[in-house]
Amino acid sequence: MNILNTEVVHIIEEHHDAKEAVLTFEKLELTYTPQKYKHTNKSELPTSNPYKRVILNNLSGYFGKGLNAILGSSGAGKTSFLNILAKRIQNTKEIQLTGSVKVNGAQYTYEYFNKFAGYVMQDDYLLPTLTVKEYFQFAADLRLTCSEEEKKTKVNQIIKQLNLGRCQNSRIGDILSKGISGGERKRVSIGLELLGEPQVLFLDEPTSGLDSFTSYLIIKNLKDLSIQFNKTIVFTIHQPSSDIWNLFDKITLLAEGQFIYQGPREQIINYFSKIGFACPVYNNPADYLMAQMSTSDKSKIQLMISECSKNIIPEIEHEMQVIYTTHSQPVITQSRIIIDDNQNQNKVGAFYMLQKLIQRQLKQLSRNRIMVNTRFIQICTMGLFTGILFWQTSDADTYQDTYQKAKILYIFNLGMFAQSMNPQVISFVQERPVFLKEEGSNLYTAWSYFLSKVLLEIISCSLFACFNSCIIYWMVGFSQTAYQFFFFMLILVLQSNIGNAFGILAGSLFKQAKVGMAFSLTFIAPQILFGGVFKNRKDLPDWIGWAQYMTPTMYAFDAMVQNEFADTNYTYNPIEYLSLDINKWTCVGIMIALYFIYTAIAYVCLLLKRERLQ
C-alpha cells in the first residue's frame, strides 16, 4: 500500500535549499519503571515486572518541511514523543530511552538543539509586566548581534507576521492584572522562538485552552510561516476542527505509544477506509479518528497498529534509506547540516547581557505596583507600630529599661530579616518557570540572570531598610549621635539583604511557593531561639550551642546592642548580662560573609535544580 512515495520524491526534489530541515528518528523506545519496583536483573523486566510501562514503542519516521501534526488520545505519548525530538527527556534510574534522533543526518544534543530549532511549550511562561513589543525587543537584543535598527526591523516583522500589531504596546498581564488574550499570548510565545530564526519549530498543544477561531488563526499563522520560510513545524494537537485539519501537511497518529498512521493528510481517509475504518461523509476526520483511537475495544487499536506495522512502517524505513543514500547529492549529509556556526545564538557580550537583564528587572520592579506597595506598607506599618508602642523608651539605668531597649533592637532586626525573606520566596518561585524556559532556549546564562536579580534586590532591600531606620530610630529614642544612627542603619541593611538572600535560596530550592515558605519559616525558629535575647549564649549546652553562630540575627543583635550601650556607664548593661562579647565590626564582617555564603548556596541550588521544561 504505497501512500508515501509522493511525499518522499517531493522532499528529495525540493531539498535544494540548505536551510530546509529533515528530522529523522529511528527505533525510539521510552519506558518508565518506578525505582522501588525495579528488578536488579534487567533481563527479567519485560516479562516479570508488572510495573514497567512502555510509553513509546519502537517508533521510526521523519518530518519534512510544512505542518506536521501529531494526534492521539490522552496518554498516547504525544508530548513524550515531542519532548524526545526536542531532547528534553533524559535517561534516569526510572526512565529508559533508546533510539536516535537526527536532523539532516546529524545527531544533536540538548545544547545543540537551540542552534537550529525552537520549542513552544503548552503553558505560556511570560512576565506579566512587559509589553508585547518590549518582550520581543528584549529577546532580539539577546539573540541577535546585528545593529539596533536591524533588531527593531526584525521585531516589527515578527509583530506583523503574527498579527500582533493591535496589542504590541499592551502588557502581557496575569491573573491579578488584565493583559492580552490567550491567543495573543500564544503568538507571543511563538514569536519569541521565531526571533532566533529556527529551521525547525516544535509546539506542544498550541491550541490548548483557545476557542476554535483563535485556534485556527494560530495554526494558519504556522502554515504561512512554513510556506514563506521553508520551515519544518512539528506540533501536538488534541482535537482539531475540520478547518484546522485541512491546513495539515503530514499527520502522525499515536495510540498506546505506537504509530497507527504516518503520512500525508490527503491520503489518510483512503488508508483507513481500506483497513476497515471508513470515515462517514460530512464527519470531521479528526473527530472520527480520535473516537477510534479512544475506544475501549483494544482489538480495534491492535488492528490499526498491526496494519500500520505491515503497510506503512516498512515504507517509512525504506524511504528514510532513500533520503539518506540514493540521491546524487545526498540530501542529508554532515557537510550540509543546517546548523550555521555563525548564527546569532547567545553571542552577545556578558556585560551587555547583564545590562539588558538589569533593565528588564528594573521595569518589572517599577511596574509591579502590588509587590512594591505591599513591601512599602509592611515597612511603614512595622516601623510606625514599633515606634508608637515603644515611643521614647526610658534611658533609666534599670534592668527593666535596658532590657526593654535590647528587646526592641532584637525584634526589629528579626522583623527586618523576615520581611525581606518572605516576598522573595514567592516572587522567585513565580519567576522560576520563565527563567527555566528562557535559559533553556539559550536566551541568557544562569549566572547573568542570577546576578541581575541579586543586584536589583540589594538596591531595593537597602532602600527599604534605610527608610525603616529613619522611622523607628528617632521614635524609640536611641542614642542621638550620627555615627550610631548610621551604624544602626548599616546593620539593618545587612540584615535585610541576608534575609533576601535566604529567600532567594528557598525560592531556588522549591517549585511551589508554599513549600518554599514553609522551609523559610522553619529557619525563623533558630533566629528567635539563638538571637541572644531569650537565652544567655553562655548557658547553652555544648551540643547545641554551636548553632547560634550560624544565625545572622545573633550577629545583628550583638552589633546593635554594642552600638547602643558600648562606652556607657550603665550598671545594668545588656552587653554584660547577655554576654554579647563579639566586637561589633567583627559582627559586620561575619554578616557580610553570611550574605555571600547564602547567595552562593542559592546560586548553586539554582544550577542544581534546573530542569528541562516539558
- Give dist(CA 414, CA 422) in Å, integer: 13
The CA-atom distances, in angstroms, between 477 and each of 391, 400, 408, 471, 488 are: 7, 16, 11, 11, 13
For residue 264, the cross-strand partners are 250
Residues near 529 by beta carbon (within 8 Å), at least 6 away in sequence? 535
pLDDT digits (tens, 9 = 90+) for 308-324: 988 898 888 887 877 66
pLDDT exceeds 80 at position 39: no
pLDDT (tens digit per residue) in 204-236: 999 988 888 989 999 999 999 999 888 999 999
Q: Check: CB of residue 227 under 8 Å from CB of residue 46.
A: no
pLDDT of residue 425: 86
Q: How far apart are CA 185 and CA 175, in angstroms?
A: 13
User: Other CB atoms closer than 10 Å to residue 524's CB: what's the count?
Assistant: 17
> pLDDT of 128-153, one tens digit each?
999 999 999 999 999 988 888 999 99
Q: Is the pLDDT of residue 553 over 70?
A: yes
- How far apart are alpha carbons 600 and 272 in whole angstroms? 59
- What order do you get walking across the sheet with 106-107 strand by strand? 53-63, 23-32, 95-103, 106-107
- What pLDDT shows up at residue 168? 92
Please list, in sequence order, all residues whose beta carbon lies within 8 angstroms of the beta carbon of residue 432, skipping any fewer than 6 positions away.
507, 508, 511
Q: Which of 85-94, 353-362, 462-471 has the highest mean pLDDT?
A: 353-362
The CATH number of the structural domain formed by 5-116+198-336 is 3.40.50.300
Buried b (16+ CB within 10 A) or exposed e, 272-307: beebebebeeeebbbebbbebbeeeeeeebeebbeb
Residue 560 above 80 pLDDT?
yes
Q: Examine the pLDDT at 12 and tell me if it is beyond 70.
A: no
- Whether the pLDDT of residue 293 is over 70: the answer is yes
Residue 239's pLDDT band (cuts 50, 70, 90): confident
Query: In angstroms, rounded to a whole number, what is the distance separating the alpha carbons of residues 218 and 122?
Result: 13
Element (H, E) at 95: strand 95-103
pLDDT over 50 at 98, yes or no: yes
Average pLDDT over residues 473-493: 89
State residue 345's pLDDT score.
47
pLDDT, average across residues 554-563: 90
pLDDT at 4 over 70: no
Q: Got the DSSP string for 530-596?
A: TSSSSS-GGGS-HHHHGGGGG-HHHHHHHHHHHHHHTT---SS-HHHHTT--S-HHHHHHHHHHHHH
C-alpha cell belonging to residue 358: 538589569
Q: Chain centroid to CA 190: how far?
A: 16
Q: State the DSSP H helix or E strand holding residue 166, giving kind and residue range, or none if neither.
A: none
How far is it, in rounded angstroms, from Cα 272 to Cα 312? 12
Dist. CA 571–CA 98, nearest whole Å: 78
What average pLDDT does range 109-130 have in this prediction?
A: 88
Instruction: Please state, in angstroms and as integers, the Cα–Cα distance from residue 452 to each residue in 85, 319, 439, 456, following that order.
Output: 33, 51, 14, 6
How many percent of the chain have pLDDT more than 70? 90
Is residue 41's pLDDT more than 70? no
List the one residue out of 225, 226, 185, 192 whose CA is nearest residue 206: 185
Residue pair 590/557 in contact by the 8 Å Cβ criterion = no
pLDDT at 274 over 80: yes
Q: Which pLDDT tens digit goes with each residue over 365-403?
A: 888 877 778 878 877 887 788 888 888 777 777 878 888
Q: How far is CA 64 from the centre of its chain?
A: 29
Q: Tell me the average pLDDT across 73-88.
A: 88
Query: Distance between CA 126 and CA 431 in Å, rounded?
Result: 9
pLDDT, residue 324, reads: 67
Q: What does pLDDT average to over the chain?
A: 84
Is pLDDT of 268 > 60? Answer: yes
In the chain, CATH 3.40.50.300 covers 5-116+198-336
Give the pLDDT confidence score for residue 539 in this predicted structure. Answer: 76
Q: Is 163 helix (H, G, I), strand (E, B) or coil?
A: coil
pLDDT over threshold 80, residue 341 = no
Determine whether 372 is exposed, middle or buried from the number of CB atoms within 10 Å of its CB (0-12, 13-18, 19+).
middle
Full-model pTM = 0.83
Can you say how many angstroms the Cα of residue 257 is from the centroid of all Cα atoms in its chain?
A: 28
Quick check: helix, strand or coil at residue 386?
helix
> How far apart, in whole angstroms, are the C-alpha atoms of residue 137 and residue 29?
40
